[in-house]
């Protein structure tokens, strides 16, 4: 951002964790942070994908390392944070980006397995990682945490019951953090992406009630964003250019949320 917009990001040399960094928004954010001179720890379940992002980051002149594992597992969460702190001397920025979609299921169609997995990955995992990161940020006198929420965090017509509930939960977590730790120098914000070109799968059941009901509303999304457009918003919120912004939920949706 600083090289293209003139904004002072203050990210040079900072230690940053990005989850879901093997592809899509996470990969784009990792590369953008590296362009700003940050040192990035990249977490993803897909070893091949996240290691490819590390290579791309290093080829571009950045400093990166990978941690592979399921972020709904406390042991993996602890390993991600310890790896970042040990390698880079602390932790300044956490980007809770990793997530999965549901099947667009309406509540009555949502089985326990779908509900529990979506909530575990989309809401519990960011909670666990943020809880593990906070002591290091508090000891350093501050830090920035950015969540990837969703258009589904702003309305009830963009996804199924499980995903919608999980992303509304992410918004609540963001705002609670912003209030609870504002005096300690912790900033917490979230982006709310609209339709975005990523490899996230939507295994919708075509004849079920949920997809049939949601379809006309999702059609209002309009332009499909590039992952890099979402990444630019993440890096801005994480940076010193947003130093007085906390508790904000930023739609990055080409105006979908304004309809």
pLDDT digits (tens, 9 = 90+) for 50-81: 999 999 999 988 999 999 999 999 999 999 99
Distances in Å between the Cα of 204 and the Cα atoms of 166, 190, 194, 231, 258 are: 17, 26, 18, 27, 26
CATH class of 2-258: alpha beta
For residue range 144-161, list pLDDT tens digits in order: 999 999 999 999 999 999
Q: Which residues are catalytic?
A: 163
Which one-letter DSSP state was computed for residue 181? T
For the chain, the structural domain boundaries read 2-258
Q: Which of the two residues, 120 and 198, has the higher pLDDT score?
A: 120
| pTM recorded for the entire structure | 0.94
Given a cut of 70, whether residue 98 has pLDDT beyond it is yes
């Amino acid at each position: 951002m600083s090289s293209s917009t003139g904004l002072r990001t203050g990210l040079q040399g900072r230690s940053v964790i990005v989850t879901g960094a093997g592809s899509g928004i996470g990969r784009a954010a990792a590369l953008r942070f590296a362009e700003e001179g940050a040192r990035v720890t990249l977490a993803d379940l897909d070893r091949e994908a996240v290691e490819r992002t590390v290579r791309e980051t290093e080829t571009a002149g950045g400093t990166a390392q990978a941690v592979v594992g399921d972020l709904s597992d406390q042991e993996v969460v602890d390993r991600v944070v310890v790896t970042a702190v040990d390698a880079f001397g602390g932790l300044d920025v956490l980007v809770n980006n990793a997530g999965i979609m549901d099947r667009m299921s309406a509540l009555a169609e949502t089985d326990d397995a779908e509900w529990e997995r979506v909530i575990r990955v989309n809401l519990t995992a960011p909670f666990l990682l943020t809880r593990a990161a906070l002591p290091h940020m508090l000891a350093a006198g501050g830090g920035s945490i950015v969540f990837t929420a969703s258009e589904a965090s702003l309305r009830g017509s963009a996804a199924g019951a499980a995903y919608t509930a999980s992303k509304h939960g992410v918004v609540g977590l963001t705002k609670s953090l912003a209030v609870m730790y504002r005096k300690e120098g912790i900033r917490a914000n979230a982006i709310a992406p609209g339709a975005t070109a990523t490899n996230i799968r939507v295994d919708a059941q075509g004849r079920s009630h949920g997809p049939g009901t949601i379809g006309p509303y999702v059609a209002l999304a309009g332009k499909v964003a590039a992952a890099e457009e979402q990444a630019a918003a993440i890096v801005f919120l994480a940076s010193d250019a947003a130093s007085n912004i906390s508790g904000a939920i930023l739609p990055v949706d080409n105006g979908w949320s304004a309809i």
